[in-house]
Amino acid sequence: QSVLTQPPSASGTPGQRVTISCSGSSSNIGSNTVNWYHQLPGTAPELLIYSNNQRPSGVPDRFSGSKSGTSASLAISGLQSEDEADYYCATWDDSLKGWVFGGGTKVTVL
Amino acid sequence: EVQLVESGGGLVQPGGSLRLSCTASGFTFKNHWMHWVRQAPGKGLVWVSSINGDGSSTSYADFVKGRFTISTDNAKNTVYLQMNSLRVEDTAVYYCARGGYYRFDAFDIWGQGTMVTVSS
C-alpha cells in the first residue's frame, strides 16, 4: 500500500488529454513539492516534472503538473503512442522522514 | 555526459550480504544528494536510502534500517549500498539516482539499475 494514491491505469486515444491524480496528506504533498517520473517498458525511470509544475529541459510542453492542497495531478495533452508508460508521483514525507512514491499509473494509448 | 552506472547485483541466499556500487560521471559528485530506489518485479518504485554529497547525512526507509548502509567515496565518485541480512522480499532492481544540492530536490538522473535476487 503506497503512501501516495494513484489510479492504477489511465487511457486515451491519440490526441486526447489524459490526467493522472496523486493523493496524499498534510505530511507529504501538503507540505512539500511533487515530482513526477515516467518509466517506459524495460527502462529506468526518468524525471518528467519537478517542483509541482516545472519541466526539465527536453520534456515536451504537452506534459504539465499542478498541485492543490494534498493532491497533485499530471496532465498529458495531445496524447501520443510513445507516451505509453508507467507514471509515478513522489514527494518527501515529513512524518516518515523519507521519500514516498505513488503506486504508479499505467497509461495506455488506445 | 552525465551518467550513473550501477553494479554489484546478483543472486544471494536469504541472510546473505551484497554491496551495490553506483559510479557517477559528468558532474561534480560532492554537490549532490544521491539516492537508492528499488523496484520489485512487476511492482512500483520504492525509496530505499539517501546520502548527501559529503556523506555526513543519511536516511533510510524503515524496512532497511539496521540492515542496509549507504556510503560514498568522493575520490571514486561512487555511492555504495551495503545490504546485510537480505530477505526474499528484498528481491528487486535497485536504481541509483542523482538528487540536487538540497535534500528535497528531485531525482534528475537515474542509472540503468542492477538486479538483486534473494533466493535459496
Span B87-110, pLDDT tens digits? 999 999 999 999 999 999 999 999
Q: Which residues in A lie closer than 8 A to residue B110 (C-beta atoms)?
A: 44-47
Q: All 3 cell numbers of residue A20?
A: 493522472
Report the residue of B32, B45, B60, B104 to disrupt the A interface, i.e. the one with the largest count of A CBs within 10 Å.
B45
pLDDT at B66: 96
Among A47, A96, A104, beta carbon nearest to B44 = A104
Instruction: Note the pLDDT of residue A6.
Output: 98
Measured on CA atoms in the order B74, B76, B77, B79, is the torsion positive or negative? negative
* Residues A12, A18 contacting (CB under 8 angstroms): yes
Residue A107 has pLDDT above 90, yes or no: yes
Residue B29 has what pLDDT?
Answer: 84
User: Quick check: B102 contacting A, CB < 8 Å?
Assistant: no
The separation between CA A91 and the C-alpha centre of its own chain, rounded to angstroms, equals 11
Mean pLDDT, consecutive 10-residue stretches, chain B (120 aa), reads 96 98 93 97 97 95 97 95 98 98 95 98
A contacts of B108 (beta carbons < 8 Å): 47, 50, 56
Q: How far apart are CA A34 and CA A53, in angstroms?
A: 8
pLDDT (average), residues A85-106? 97
Burial B11-33 (b: 16+ CB within 10 A, else e): ebeeeeebebbbbbeeeebeebb
Statement: residue A26 has pLDDT above 90: yes
Tens of pLDDT, residues A34-86: 999 999 999 999 999 999 999 999 999 999 999 999 999 999 999 999 999 99
